[in-house]
């Protein structure tokens, strides 16, 4: 695959989403794009996510188009918070407990297969995305994509995150 083909493919997927030619079934723009890349390339989800990130990092116009589609779907066309709000308390509790367990299971698995720096970065990015979601009033997926857009747009932000992780490490070592 030449270097331009993944960018063309991502543009095609975005166009399909914008024109409602594909049903996301309530899913995420980024996830749909990643899974479409995964299927096209017969690769892993991680390889497809890495490729998408690389394509968007090196093509600022496509990066902007991508975030515009994310905003269209996640901010303008959806209002997912209301769906949860109208549930009965028992249903809400069940939903919350399932996802609480899923997060802890995922982090436990990460402890077995990833370095603590990666886990710390993941937690930090999750916190940043959550903060963005709360302050700008969007769903978490949209906030995550806004954050990734910012990180792709300005590598200095990644350096600041790395510096903060180093400070965390120093603080932890200091208290051992």
Q: What is the mean pLDDT of each run of 10 residues along the chain (176 residues)?
A: 86 95 87 94 90 92 91 78 73 89 90 88 93 84 90 90 92 86
Any idea what DSSP says for residue 72? Answer: I
Q: What is the total count of domains within the chain? A: 1
Q: Please check whether residue 37 lies inside any domain of the structure.
A: yes
Q: Please check whether residue 94 lies inside any domain of the structure.
A: no
Q: Please check whether residue 89 lies inside any domain of the structure.
A: no
pTM over cut 0.85: no
Tokens coding 80: 């997912």
CA separation for the pair 16, 19 (Å, rounded) = 5
Q: Please check whether residue 157 lies inside any domain of the structure.
A: no
Identify whether the C-beta of residue 69 lies closer than 8 Å to the C-beta of residue 32: no
Q: Please check whether residue 147 lies inside any domain of the structure.
A: no
The reported pLDDT for the residue numbered 1 is: 60
CA separation for the pair 156, 159 (Å, rounded) = 5
Structural domain including 48 reads 1-78
The reported pLDDT for the residue numbered 123 is: 93
CA separation for the pair 148, 103 (Å, rounded) = 20
| SS3 call for 42 | coil
Q: Please check whether residue 132 lies inside any domain of the structure.
A: no
Q: Please check whether residue 134 lies inside any domain of the structure.
A: no
Cα-to-chain-centroid distance, residue 104: 18
Considering Cα of 143, then 76, then 135, then 156, what sign does the dihedral take?
A: positive
- How many other CB atoms are found less than 10 A from the CB of residue 173? 8
Q: Please check whether residue 24 lies inside any domain of the structure.
A: yes
The reported pLDDT for the residue numbered 81 is: 60
Cα-to-chain-centroid distance, residue 140: 8
């Amino acid at each position: 695959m030449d270097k331009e083909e993944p960018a063309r493919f991502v543009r095609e997927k975005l166009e399909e989403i914008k024109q409602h030619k594909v049903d996301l079934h309530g899913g995420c723009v980024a996830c749909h794009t990643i899974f479409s890349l995964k299927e096209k390339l017969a690769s892993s989800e991680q390889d497809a996510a890495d490729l998408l990130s690389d394509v968007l990092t090196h093509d600022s116009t496509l990066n902007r188009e991508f975030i515009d589609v994310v905003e269209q779907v996640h901010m303008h066309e959806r209002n997912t918070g209301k769906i949860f709000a109208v549930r009965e308390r028992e249903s809400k509790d069940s939903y919350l407990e399932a996802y609480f367990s899923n997060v802890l299971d995922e982090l436990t698995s990460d402890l077995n297969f990833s370095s603590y720096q990666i886990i710390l970065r993941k937690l930090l990015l999750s916190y940043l995305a959550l903060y963005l979601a709360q302050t700008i009033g969007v769903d978490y997926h949209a906030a995550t994509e806004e954050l990734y857009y910012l990180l792709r747009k300005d590598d200095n932000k990644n350096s600041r995150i790395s510096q903060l992780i180093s400070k965390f490490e120093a603080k932890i070592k200091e208290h051992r």
